[in-house]
Copies of this chain bind each other. A is one copy, B any other.
Amino acid sequence: MVEETTDIGVAQRFLEDLAVGMSDRSSRAVAENDIERFAEVSGDHNPVHMDEEFAAQTQFGSRIAHGMLTVSFISAALANRLPGPGCVYLNQSLSFRAPVRIGDTVTVELVITNIRAIRHRVTLSTVARVGETIVVDGEAVAFVPSRA
């Protein structure tokens, strides 16, 4: 577990600013309203997300957030924080490991694991947790421009 948090802000990041091992951690609380907005924008109104009575009878026991809502937080952390503005998202792998519920706080941790400078490719591990529980993990690849 990486204990460092970098707060990168909004200035554009270049390849020359990055190094393997750099990390970032950010958190977002999930409100009922977030699930409702995600249902509207995605078109996924399944009752396991929207209907407490229905969800209580499923394996989950209560309403759960859409998995892709958590992924949208990973995507925003990449875009806003590490690598940050100017990067272009190329690839993402995802494993959905545990549900996220209303009121949970999702913490996204990004760590740069590889940089291929010639191709401008930066690979990051992407892990979302609620408390100590990993809810989504995977790996991202982004294009990051050079300052030159």
Contact call B85/A38, Cβ cutoff below 8 A: no
Contact between A73 and B42 (Cβ–Cβ < 8 Å)?
yes
- CB contact between A80 and one of B43, B59, B69, B72 (< 8 Å): that residue: B43
Question: Does any Cβ of B come within 8 Å of A11's Cβ?
Answer: no
A75 pairs with B44, CB closer than 8 A:
yes
The 5 closest A-B pairs by CB, nearest first: A42-B72, A44-B76, A43-B76, A68-B75, A42-B76
Contact status A91-B90, CB under 8 Å = no
Question: What B residues does A41 contact at CB under 8 A?
Answer: 34, 37-38, 41, 69, 72
| This protein's copies in its complex | 2
Q: Nearest chain B CB to A29's CB is how many angstroms away?
A: 11
Q: Contact check, A96 vs B91: say whether CB atoms are below 8 A apart.
A: yes
Contacts of A42 in B (CB 8 A): 72-73, 75-76
The answer to whether the Cβ of A6 comes within 8 Å of any Cβ in the partner chain is: no
Is the CB–CB distance between B96 and A72 below 8 Å?
Answer: no
Q: How many residues on A have C-beta within 8 angstroms of the other chain's C-beta atoms?
A: 32
Contact with B along A58-78 (1 / 0, CB 8 A): 010000001111011101100
Which residues of chain B are near A44, meaning CB under 8 Å? 72, 75-76, 79-80
How many Å from the CB of A126 to the closest CB on chain B? 12
Cβ contact within 8 Å between A46 and B85: yes
| Nearest-neighbor residue (CB-CB) of A33 within chain B | B41
A105 within 8 Å of B (CB atoms): no
Q: Does A125 contact B (CB under 8 A)?
A: no
